[in-house]
Amino acid sequence: MSMIEVLDKGYVRLVNHMGSDLTVVNAARVSYAKESKELNDKDIRLIKFLAREGHTSPFRHVIMQFEIYAPLMVARQWWKYVIGSAHAEGTGDSLEAWNESSRRYITEEPTFYIPGEQQWRSKPENSKQGSGAALGNEAGQKLTKELIDYIELGVQKYEAALQDGVCAEQARLFLPSYGMYVRWYWTASLQAVCHFLNQRLEHDAQKEIQDYAKAILELSKPLYPVSVEELMVRSETLEV
């Protein structure tokens, strides 16, 4: 499996990857000019030690590349992990890359995330962020219809602006933004991926980005079963 569908129209696709659990082991063992040919119990104990003690540089020799199609509200939360990353223990270096489609250059048909009538959530009782219980069907029906109407109006005005000769980079101002799907490539080290997962799989993370994090985990864990397992349970040792 290399692609997982998320939300109503989104997906996560594993484009490429480099390395294995053995890569992590050998990156650590090179300090002693040693190398393992096959992963064994001793190597697994070493991975556990590295994760437990916060020796994270060996996990940065493993790289994954994903193509992601998600609403802008998800993309902008995700982007914070790129601009705020400093994985090399205080040096500020980042092993992450992000390239995103731009409506300055393309005019493909806009696509939007539209929650179903049972997917609208109430505001939380004791927090300024996040969400609470699901709203009732009647409120959900009203909200879904209003959102569809709003999107249709924006798209009509966007297309009219293009027909009037407005450049694409300005015509996009008419498009409702936060629910609009965008596509990007995310390339990151295993440490960076697991740091993202540890935070966005938490119960208080926004549900939509939780769904994407679950897809990233499902695609990553079969490739690096030992390392992902250890980094996921050792979240307190990960640095950002």
Tell me the domain boundaries of the chain.
Answer: 3-105+180-237, 114-178
Cα–Cα dist 9/71, whole Å:
9
- Judge whether 121 counts as a catalytic residue: no
Q: Which amino acid is at 42?
A: K
Predicted confidence (pLDDT) per residue in 14-40, tens digit? 999 999 999 999 999 987 777 889 999
Long-range contacts of 80-85 (CB under 8 A, 24+ apart): 81/192, 81/195, 81/196, 81/240, 82/186, 84/240, 85/192, 85/195, 85/240
Global pTM reads: 0.88
Distance (Å, whole) CA 82 – CA 90: 15
Average pLDDT over residues 184-207: 92
Strands (E), 21-87: 63-71
Average pLDDT score over the chain:
87
CB-based contacts of 142, cutoff 8 Å, min separation 6: none
pLDDT at 83: 59
Of the listed 60, 172, 183, 200, which one is catalytic? 200
Q: Are 64 and 220 in contact (CB under 8 A)?
A: yes
Distances (CA, A) of 122 to 69, 106, 129, 134: 26, 36, 11, 6
CATH fit for domain 3-105+180-237, picks 3.30.1360.170, 3.50.50.60, 3.10.450.50, 3.40.1500.10: 3.30.1360.170
**Which strand (E) or helix (H) includes residue 5?**
strand 3-6
| pLDDT(82) > 60 | yes
Average confidence (pLDDT) over 212-228: 97
Non-local (6+) Cβ contacts of 160 within 8 A are: none
For residue 188, what are the β-bridge partners? 64, 96
Length of the chain counted residue by residue: 240
Least confident of 9-18, 43-52, 103-112: 103-112
Q: What is the pLDDT of residue 94?
A: 55
The alpha carbon dihedral of 198, 204, 206, 208 has a sign of: positive
Do 213 and 193 meet the contact criterion of CB atoms below 8 Å apart? Answer: no
Per-residue pLDDT at 98: 83
